Amino acid sequence: MVSHAAMQNINRMIIKGANVMRNVYLDYSATTPVKEEVLKEMLPYFTEKFGNPSSLYDTGLEAKAAVTHAREQVAALIHADPKEVFFTAGGTESDNWALFGACDKLKEKGNHIITTKIEHHAILHSCAFLEKHGFDVTYVGIDKDGRVNLKELEDAITDKTILISVMMVNNEIGTVQPIREIAKIAKAHKILFHTDAVQALGNVPIDVKDMGIDLMSMSSHKIYGPKGEGALYIRKGVRISNYLHGGAQESGHRAGTENLTGIVGFGKAAELARIHFDEHVAHCSSLRNYFVDRVLKEIPDTELNGTMEGRHPGNANITFKFIEGESILLLLNQFGISVSTGSACSSASLEPSHVLTALGVPVEMIHGTVRFTVGDFTTKEDIDYVIEKLKIIVEKLRALSPINAEKGW
């Protein structure tokens, strides 16, 4: 790790040569800003249309109608029946509900779960909890591109397997998993299949019926909607236990007064994501490709983690050899540039990324990795600015590093 004094010295040298300062946000996989259209849709429900959707008078019925409309908007994005969409407080709750609800409902049938080594911690930590309470979990590995090993997954199935949970798009390296193939394996063995689609929603095409998905987790704040709102898709005919107990909200499946403004915002964000899907993917992938091409060509000793084919359109996970990603992040921040050293949910941890570890990246290189994710408001000028600063920062940090290409690790 570069010392604090050295960092300050680098910072002074860089700032001295800096021209125009600008704010560039390249962490869209962590969260997204609420779009103006979404905020405009939400605002009346804070003051004028504030009713409780469970109330039977006009103000309550107006609120209930808004929830119903939002449910239809989210369902349309994933090609589901609105009655199959249940609102939650976010992706983490949806993941927890899917796992705990399925395991509780099916515990008489078996106690074995299959997931992967690269899941979000909302899944991994839930599985760890279940292991402490009598369930067995198999963690399947990935190949060099970051995709699940389908043979290993199918070979792991036993007569006690009740649930398979595999994320649709990885939050660190952006790899899109073969969800249709996994769903077919699960169906062939009469096993319930859940996918965490938090990073996938609005970024890859999703048709829950065509893909054979039983349960699917979603989040609003990844698609330019408000934080604190999500949903769980539960295919018609699938039965899982309730996770929250109390009132009869969400057709009696998820207790608690609905987050009206959050639900309205999620619905509008889903509608915009559906309408502008092709435009969004084209914009993000074009800028991401431009960024990756320039970094790999203009900054030596850099590597892209994961494959460029079948990847989140805005994701670039890059290793800068011989220096630490945290130092890059802190110095980029001095120039108004926001990036991540991995999953934003665990970026404060000093533990090496479990995703890159599963990918086979050496520990010393994992610590030199930075995740850049572009979004709808990113411009080519933003990318040029980031690369300009990145080249200077990497050069300065490597000049201070005790290791380099000649000396080795």
- Above pLDDT 70, what percent of the chain? 91
Identify the burial level of 196 via C-beta atoms within 10 angstroms of its C-beta, where 0-12 means exposed, 13-18 middle and 19 or more buried. Answer: buried
Q: What is the pLDDT of residue 344?
A: 45
Best CA proximity match to 262, nearest among 96, 398, 87 = 87
Q: What is the mean pLDDT of residues 351-374?
A: 94
Amino acid at 121: H
Strands 112-116, 161-165: pairing is: parallel
Phi–psi pair at 218, nearest 5 degrees:
-140, 160
Q: Check whether 343 has a pLDDT greater than 60.
A: no
* pLDDT score at 403: 75
Amino acid at 315: N
Give pLDDT tens digits for 234-248. 999 999 999 999 999
> Nearest CA to 178 among 190, 187, 191, 166?
166
CA distance readout (Å), 100 to 62, 156, 257, 363 = 33, 21, 22, 33
DSSP state string for 20-71: ----EE-BTTT--PPPHHHHHHHTHHHHTS---TT--SHHHHHHHHHHHHHH
Residue 348, pLDDT > 60, answer no
- Position 401 scores a pLDDT of 83
Tokens of 269: 């964000």
- Per domain, the residue ranges of the chain are 4-26+277-400, 36-275
pLDDT at 408: 62
Catalytic residues: 345
Angle between helices 4-16 and 325-333 (to 10 degrees): 50
- Beta carbons within 8 Å of 258's beta carbon, 6+ residues apart: 53, 63, 67, 87, 249, 250
Give the CATH fold of the 36-275 domain. Aspartate Aminotransferase; domain 2 (3.40.640)
Question: Once rounded to an integer, what is the mean pLDDT over residues 62-86?
Answer: 98
Stretch 390-408: mean pLDDT: 85
pLDDT, tens digit, 9 for 90 and up, residues 292-320: 999 999 999 999 999 999 999 999 999 99
- Is the pLDDT at 12 greater than 90, yes or no? no
Listed in sequence order, the residues at least 6 apart from 377 whose beta carbon sits closer than 8 Å to its beta carbon are: 25, 33
The residues pairing with 20 across neighbouring beta strands, listed in sequence order, are none
pLDDT digits 0-9 by tens, 314-323 = 999 999 999 9
Lowest mean pLDDT among 10-14, 223-227, 260-264: 10-14
pLDDT the model gives residue 2: 59
Options 3.90.1640.10, 3.40.50.300, 3.30.410.40, 3.90.1150.10; CATH of 4-26+277-400: 3.90.1150.10
